[in-house]
Structure 1
Amino acid sequence: MADKSSNASKKSFKNIDDTQSYVHHLVWLDKNIENYTNQQKLNQWHELDDNIKLFSHEEECINYIQKQNDKNTESYIIFIISDSCSEQVIPKIHNCLCILAIFILTTNSENCQILNYPKIRATCLDTSDLFNRIRHCIYRDEASIGFSLLNKQDSTDAEPISLETKSNEQYPIRNLQEDQARFLWFYKCHNFMIELEDDDRQAKEEMISYFRIKYNKDKRILKPIDEFEKESLQDNAKNAIWWYSHNTIMFRSMNEALVSGHISTIYSYRYIIKLLCRQLKTLHKEYKKSISNNRLHLYRGQRLKLSLILLISNHINDLISLNSFVSTTLEEDVAKKFCLGRSKNNDEAVIFEIDIDLNSEQNIPFADIRDVSRYPEEEEILISIGSVFRIISVNFDEEKELYRIHLTLSQHEQLIVNKYIEQTFATEIDSDDQSILFGKLLFDMGEFEFAIKYFENRIRCLSDHNNHYRPTYLNNTGVCYNQIGDKDRALKYYKKASDIYKETKNQRGLGACYHNIASYYYDKGDYDTALRWALKALNERQQYQLEKASTLDLLGCIHLAQRDAEAARNNLQEALRIRVKYLSQLNTNHPDIGISYFNLGKLDSKLSSLIDAQNNYSRAEQIFRHNYPKTHPLITEVTQCLEQIKRQL
């Protein structure tokens, strides 16, 4: 085995097509082919390949495959053959690079046991099983797992990875040097979605309705969805992994959503995501008890572009996340079946080798799903979403002519932003309610419009007499409307929430509403009214130190707007003192500390203390980048302030 760096450089990777898609072509050889391919049956097979080729003569079929191989076309052949022809034909075509997989149709599987070729995927006893297995094969070959590189965990100053991609395409490796926060926000969102047990029925109805609208004219696609809908919630939960291995459109679409990273789209699939995660979590406990070894060594076969392999090789010892459910196997020969075939546009065969230390506590469930999978012979170990791995090595195996990428399962605690995500919700009002925390996550991710939709939907689902969570939903909806600029509507929500908090004598909630009303008048430029509401909020928040700090910070901004610099500095510095005292032991990069530095930067800028302003803005920017996605408004705003200061210096 040679180190990849000495081999990959010999390969050209100019004019790389950034997509990872392939064309699958079905070729079927059977002496009695007419028995399987009347027009009605062909309609089903055309779902997989409109240009399926049918042969009843061996030589004619072999010649066709060899010509396809010589043409070096961009298609992969899935070869179907009857057992009566298999012994004579398979040896002649097996090594053709265009052959991706071979399926044998037989009436007696014992007849095929002597055939030992790597590309033979399955022996099928009927055409229904054959069709499902080929569809499964195509899906597994097309499915891409999204990657996120998480490098230089102790630094926010490293150069970002440069990727040349087309703006309208998904890229399987995303740069999270500056944006590791977004990965962990998504991971936490997944966790909260799993815990939202009270909306299972509604989540299922929403998902089914979505598919019916999208595929209303395609009965073949809707058939498994109809079957899934008829099952009870309990049966859906029990059969989640079976449905996953069946590869219906539900799970293919779910995987695309997870790779895309669009949280609103992912939320539409929350029902099946929940079911899979819950079942995997249950199986994980049983699986760990059944393993005698202390270390698990897994394999995953996949084709990747050479440019992506090179990129991964430049990040040895860094972290990489796989942004979907990850199918692996205990057997390398099984994994190889998923990366064999002709190279297209510099895509290369890759075997991921994944080591898991079973002695360490794992925050990502994984389990052997053979007993609940539709295809137990794949010996699949399924790893749940949000997995993070450390890159150990990238080598080129000269003998096997494939790349080996060695990974070890790591913990999220190694990511800086995890400190904030884990700790920030402990001080929230109603922090025990997952539905409220999920909405706050959406807000912190900058998904304001989706957060509004989410909170308003939760309000509609409450009973008329449920005033426990209603005011929190109302207040949070107002905050989101404020962020998108609809401030008058935000005020209406604040006042509705404050009325309920008054009625229920909730001092803490009332303080939050008064604070937000003060912010409304501050944004409107009515500083006297803003000051009155802020002082009312401060009075309600005296015993809640961190919330008191937030209102002191607002008072500082109000005094600054009133040109009272001394009062502004006193309030802003007191807010910073409280935040550092209560937050720095938990997380020195807590974003609330960043807010204090940001507002002190504004004060210094107003007073023309440009060096002090630059220092405070820089500290705020560093903290925000540790905690928020790079598209977050706070990062945009502080970056603009720094640029303005630089122009003035």
Structure 2
Amino acid sequence: MGYILSKLATNTRVVPIADETGLNKNNCSSRRNISESTLSRTQTAGFSEEVNKAHRIIVQIAESNESQSALFEESYPPHTILENASSNPEIEKNPEDITLVWLSENRHETNLSNLRISLREINNYIKIFDDESECLSYLTNIDKEQIFIIIDGSAINHRIVSRINDIFSVDSIFLFNRKTNTETAALYADLKHDFNKVTYFADFEKMSVVIKEDIKQLVKQSVGFSLFDEREKSTMDLTRDAATFLWFQMLFKVLKNQFQSDRLRREMIVTCRRVYAGNCNELANIDGYHRDEKKTLNAIHWYTKECFLYRLVNKALRTEDIDSLCTFSPFIVDLCSQLTAEHERRVQSDTSASNSIMILYRGQQISQTEIDKMRQNKGKLISTNGFFSTTTAEMIATTFAKQRRNVSSDIVAVIFEIRAQSNLNAVIFADIRHVSAMGPGEEEVLFSIGAVFRIDDVVYDNNRSLWTILMTATDEGYENVLPFIEATAQNREETSDNVFFGRLLNDMGRYQQAETYCKKLLQTMPKNHPDRAGVYHNLGRAQGNKGELNEATDSFTQALEIRRSLDMNHPDVARTLNSLGIIHGEKGEYGKAMRMFEKALEIQSKNNPHNNKEDNMISKKNLLLNMAMSHSNIGWAHSLCGTYDKAYSAHDEALKIRKDLLKVEDHPLFADYHSAMGGIAHAKGLYDNARAEHTKALLMRQRILPPAHPSIANSYQSLGEIEHENGKYEKALDYYEEARHIRTQTLGVQHLSMAAIYKSIGSVHLDSGAYDKALVFYERALSICQKNLSSSHPAIGDCYHLIGTVYERQGDYGKALAHYVNVHQIILTHLPVEHPIVAKIFSSIANVQLRQQQYKEALILYGSVLKIQEKRLTEVKHHPDIVLTLNNFGVLYRYQKDYIKAKEYFERALRMCEGCFSNNPHPARARTLHNMGEMYLDQKNFDDAIRNFEMAIVIRVETLPDDDLSTADSYYKLGYSWFAKNDYAQALNYFTRSRGIYQMKHRPDHVDIKRVHRSIAIAQTSLGMRRGSISLAT
């Protein structure tokens, strides 16, 4: 799930300028996920004076041009800190499911103190605004709560109501105005007619009653569901739904084992009092519960009282907020324990329990999207993400399903009809009429957390105008959890449920929650506890995936020290060494990464079952699979270094081990192999091979994984990148859209992987010249990263870098530099000063300086880029990134008319291309040949110019699509060269070829088409077809 700390500049086509520097066309390998099967910021031991000079230039750019900062701030204004109108400003996030918002234009006319009191009698968490734009900004950024908004009469107008009505998180809009006239009454009637979320009130008390009842009904329906597909066989292959499914199966056990103490009970009460400070009703409830809490058999009573505990616990469960779940674990455990006792009492007292089937009902309103999802998953297992209330009375459920007015056209009424065998072991449910605060009237049966059902059917009932979802409660959920736990235990990866739970959070991509959970676990765990090393390891994974490489190194080092103190050659030591190797790889310390992987492999070899008489065949198998993992990691490191033949060999060794052990045709690990092979072929410019390997990975994943699995999305994205780099933009967008659709469906719209796909889509639009569209997608990616990551995370820098690229392409060099300088500051927060990504930032800034004819500064920056690359790639003689840098040096010296040095760097770039790509044609070689042709043109050495342009064209025709603009550029320059030699027929031939490509890609009024039309006309004139003066544009 580590999609973010990846290439800082996408493989995008260069703007068709004469020098073809290859700006931002970097061959930076994608990030290795700090995953369980692969996973101190070490200080750089001094850095060169050239790099120091480069950093100083960037500081000078930032300091000498204050307008750049102003430009940056203008584009991205700081988030307005809104007033939290509750009486406790310390509560920054809403711990409940509902936020009540008040919008008025005349705040100075309102008694805020009285307004707060009145609103908090309706709902505890409130926000008050007197500015439309601030209010809209707040509403659009809420994704975990439902919003009820009251618009005061002074602020009511069609425009604002229309915009608020379209916001997904807004459930209801209440127009309030005590004073109405004919005109305003007509307006409110129209608004109510036009927008289904709108209701109008003139009486505040009546409105309060309606809002309270609506909130009550909505909170009752806040439980969610997770699906599980039995084809998912390991946590690393889980969809978000499946991982959440397993997570809830284990939640009660983990909370009960680790988070129970008198201290935690006291902290829970303190938290509740802080949340409800100033709310007299709830404070009284909290005091009552505190007096009563030691009576654990009263937990059901307090839950059904629908006061503070009901709301806080349900929100924590629905959002899977590990911090809140740990806080409220004493009550959650009490409630689960009482339900279990009631369940067992019923089973023991019912002599016919083995055959007894209960028919239960639940009325609810859900979205049509959720209905469709359940219809598509008939026969699959589904789990509730929280406690699940049902009734034995169908009429009560039907009334409840239709009780709330439909506030959205997408919301439909549903009846869940559930068959539950009375003596189930893992699914806990109890008839709570005799202990419920609501009394016996609702005939309530409450399911405990993690209840599992099989979806039998989903049908629409025309007579009742509602959907019926038929389900059967089943113990299969727990039966599906056991293989996952047993597999990791056999692999010696996790020694307890507590550690496995932290691993699962990481595999779900919940890195912040995983970090919180692990830190809380360490606080409660004795210093000599055997699980501490595993907890530190999972903590390192979470921190590494968040981009906190320094902290991750510390955590992995703690795990390593504990494990080495027990046994220097234990397999778990190899696991942690692999993880540290991944961190070093992320930091650009490829040599250190390689040494970590090789040390891990050495330890695993000592434990090799061929050298070991251990009888446990499962353990032997897993030891060999771990060796394969180390080989795969070594292959990854070689890919980063550009030593592709060694990368091939390492991955082949990993595949051989896996095929010998797994004895199957298809396996996710085999698909990963083909994906790695595709990545290497892509880096070498072997696009057909890359496409074939990624297609193999895709087809295998489609055969063995659920249809909307994230790994399938990864294959689509890889195929999209190949088509993108080959200039097939529409095909690339089709692949990216497939990846986006799957990730939206299985991971959610705010998952970090969505930022990666938005960046890819944006880069296609960038290369297509649709700069405004590119900016939209880059800003979407930035928004997702900002919601999930710290402001100094390298992924945030990645987004700003891409946005800067847009401005550079548009010729707005001030804004481009402002963004690049900001990226430089962000990147250095977490990465060493000589990281390859830092080099790429230097290169981008140098490109702008080159365009602005600041040659001295550009030379220093390119020099620092080369120093960093040579230092980081000391064990490698050839690398595509160095090819690009040498090419850029050549262009710089050509601009300065120092043709001797220009030729020297171009020839060095060509020699390195031979080392990187052997004799295979590659666009990087064509770029350098084209640039050499430009150099010879400057020198009026037309024969050598023609020779280089012809060689560039041969490569481009072979490796790029027919309509690639760089091929058109080479045709044009070749025509110009022939024209200079007075061979007008040849010139006309190549001008015409370039025109054909330009016309396929550009509008008729584009500058390239105008230029080539003029050149064709002049060539025709020179051939005697036309008369006129000769003046040819380059």
Q: TM-score, normalised by structure 1?
A: 0.64
What secondary structure is seen at the aligned counterpart in 2 of 1:300?
A: strand
Instruction: Report if aligned partners of 1:594, 1:620 keep a CA contact under 8 Å in 2.
Output: yes
Deviations 1:588-645 (A, max 9, x none): 765x555444433323333422233313542686599759985xxx777655323112
1:380 is aligned to: 444
Of the candidates 263, 286, 289, which is equivalent to residue 228 of structure 1? 289
**1:231: how far off?**
4.6
Equivalents in 2 of 1:178, 1:461: separation in Å? 31
Equivalent-residue separation in structure 1 for 2:286 and 2:707 (angstroms): 39
Where does residue 112 of structure 1 map in the other structure? none
2:720 matched residue in structure 1: 643
Mapping 1:328-343, distance limit 5 Å? 328-336=390-398, 338-339=400-401, 343=405
Which residue does the alignment assign to 1:513? Answer: 576
Matched, 1:433 2:513: no
Counterpart of 2:257 (choices 193, 196, 204) is 196
Q: Are 1:551 and 2:635 counterparts?
A: no
Structure 1's 627 and 384: CA in aligned 2 closer, same or farther, altered over 3 A? farther
Q: Percent identity?
A: 22
Mapped to 2, the partners of 1:305 and 1:439 lie a distance apart of 31
* Aligned equivalents of 2:372, 2:478: Cα separation in 1: 20
Q: CA deviation at 1:504?
A: 2.4
Pairing of 1:393-412 with structure 2 (within 5 A): 393-396=458-461, 398=463, 401=464, 403=466, 405-409=468-472, 411=474
Cα offsets for 1:150-206 (capped at 9, x unmatched): 599879xxxxxxxxxxxxxxxxxxxxx975334424424525534434544454344
Alpha-carbon distance in structure 2 between the residues aligned to 1:540 and 1:522? 20
Q: CA distance change for structure 1 residues 513 and 48 in 2, over 3 Å: closer, same or farther?
A: closer
Distance 1:599 1:424, change over 3 A: farther
Corresponding residue number in structure 2 for 1:489: 551
The structure-2 alpha-carbon separation of the partners of 1:453 and 1:305, relative to structure 1 and needing over 3 Å to count, comes to closer
| 2: CA distance, partners of 1:204 / 1:594 | 48
Q: Does 1:605 align with 2:682?
A: yes
Partner of 1:510, secondary structure, is helix
Q: Secondary structure at the match of 2:427?
A: coil
- Change over 3 Å in CA distance of 1:526–1:137 after alignment to 2: closer
Q: 1:208 aligns with which of 253, 262, 269?
A: 269
The 3 A distance-change label for structure 1 pair 617 and 523 is: farther
> Residues 192-223 of structure 1, C-alpha deviation per residue, up to 9 Å, x if partnerless?
53443454445434433332221111132122
Show the 5 A alignment for 1:199-598: 199-201=260-262, 203-231=264-292, 235-236=295-296, 238-262=297-321, 265-291=324-350, 292=352, 294-304=355-365, 307=368, 311=372, 315=376, 317=378, 319=380, 321-336=383-398, 338-339=400-401, 343-345=405-407, 350-358=414-422, 363-377=426-440, 378-386=442-450, 387-396=452-461, 398=463, 401=464, 403=466, 405-409=468-472, 411=474, 421-422=484-485, 424-427=487-490, 429=492, 431-463=494-526, 465-466=527-528, 468-505=530-567, 507-542=570-605, 543=607, 544-579=623-658, 595-598=672-675
CA–CA distance in 1 between the matches of 2:556 and 2:370?
52
Greater Cα offset, 182-191 or 536-545: 182-191
Structure 1 residues 529, 404: closer, same or farther in 2, change over 3 A? closer
Indicate conservation of the 8 Å contact 1:258/1:323, yes or no: yes
Mapped to 2, the partners of 1:380 and 1:356 lie a distance apart of: 14
Shift of residue 561, structure 1, vs aligned partner = 3.5
Change (3 A) 1:343 1:482: closer
Three-state SS of the structure 2 residue aligned to 1:372 is: coil
Instruction: Compute the displacement of 1:239 (Å).
Output: 2.5
Contact map agreement 2:252 2:449 (CA 8 A) in 1: no
The equivalent of 2:923 in structure 1 is none
Contact 2:317–2:325 at 8 Å: present in 1 too? Answer: yes
Look up the equivalent residue of 1:615 and give its one-letter code: T
Deviation at residue 327 of structure 1 after TM alignment: 1.4
The 1-side partners of 2:713 and 2:263 are apart by 36
Match of 1:173 in 2: none
Partner of 1:165: none
Q: C-alpha displacement at 1:297, in angstroms?
A: 3.8
Quickly say closer, same or farther: Cα 1:601–1:283, change in 2 above 3 A. Answer: farther
SS in 1 for 2:378: coil
What amino acid is the match of 1:454? Y
Query: What one-letter code is carried by the residue in structure 1 that aligns with 2:241?
Result: Q
1:22-41 Cα deviation digits (max 9, x unpaired): 99xxxxxxxxxxxxxxxxxx
The answer for the alignment partner of 1:116 in structure 2 is none
Residues 442 and 627 (structure 1), Cα distance of their counterparts in 2 relative to 1, 3 Å cut: farther
**Counterpart of 1:144 in structure 2: which amino acid?**
Q
CA contact (8 A) 1:179 1:625 kept: no
Distance in 2 separating the partners of 1:384 and 1:420: 22
Q: Does the CA-based 8 Å contact 1:141-1:338 persist in structure 2?
A: no
Tell me the secondary structure at the aligned position of residue 501 of structure 1: helix
Take 1:584 and 1:207, find their aligned partners in 2: how far apart are those partners? 52
- 2:392 and 2:443 in contact (8 A); partners too: yes
Amino acid at match of 2:394: E
Flag the 1:394–1:548 CA change in 2: closer, same or farther, 3 A: same
How much has 1:390 moved relative to structure 2?
A: 0.9
- 3-state SS of 1:279 partner: helix
Say yes or no: does 1:618 pair with 2:698: yes
Contact 2:456–2:472 (8 Å) recurs in 1: no
Q: Which runs of 5+ in 2 are unaligned?
A: 1-96, 101-116, 125-171, 175-211, 233-237, 608-622, 727-1034
Judged with a 3 Å threshold, the aligned counterparts in structure 2 of structure 1 residues 559 and 142 are, in CA distance, closer, same or farther, namely: closer
- Structure with higher helix content: 2
How many Å separate the matches in 1 of 2:554 and 2:404? 62
Secondary structure in 2 aligned to 1:196? helix
Alpha-carbon shift at residue 415 of structure 1 (Å): 12
Contact 1:302 1:351 in 2 (8 A): yes
After TM superposition, give the deviation of residue 438 of structure 1 in Å: 1.5
Distance 2:119 2:240 in 1: 44
**Counterparts in 2 of 1:251 and 1:533: CA distance versus 1, 3 Å:** same
Partners of 1:485 and 1:280 lie apart in 2 by 42
Query: Is the contact between residue 589 and residue 626 of structure 1 (CA under 8 Å) also seen in structure 2?
Result: no
1:327, 1:381 within 8 Å by CA — same for their partners in 2? yes
**Cross-structure match for 1:26:** none
Query: Contact 1:597/1:619 (CA < 8 Å) preserved in 2?
Result: no
Contact 1:146/1:324, CA 8 A, preserved across alignment: yes
Tell me how far apart the structure 1 counterparts of residues 545 and 99 of structure 2 sit (CA, whole Å): 43
TM-score, structure 2 normalization: 0.42
User: Structure 2 vs 1, CA of residues 508 and 521 (structure 1 numbering), >3 Å: closer, same or farther?
Assistant: same
CA distance in 2, matches of 1:569, 1:245: 61
Return the offset for 1:563.
Answer: 4.2
For the pair shown, the structure with the greater C-alpha radius of gyration is 2
Quote the Cα distance in structure 1 between the aligned partners of 2:650 and 2:303.
56
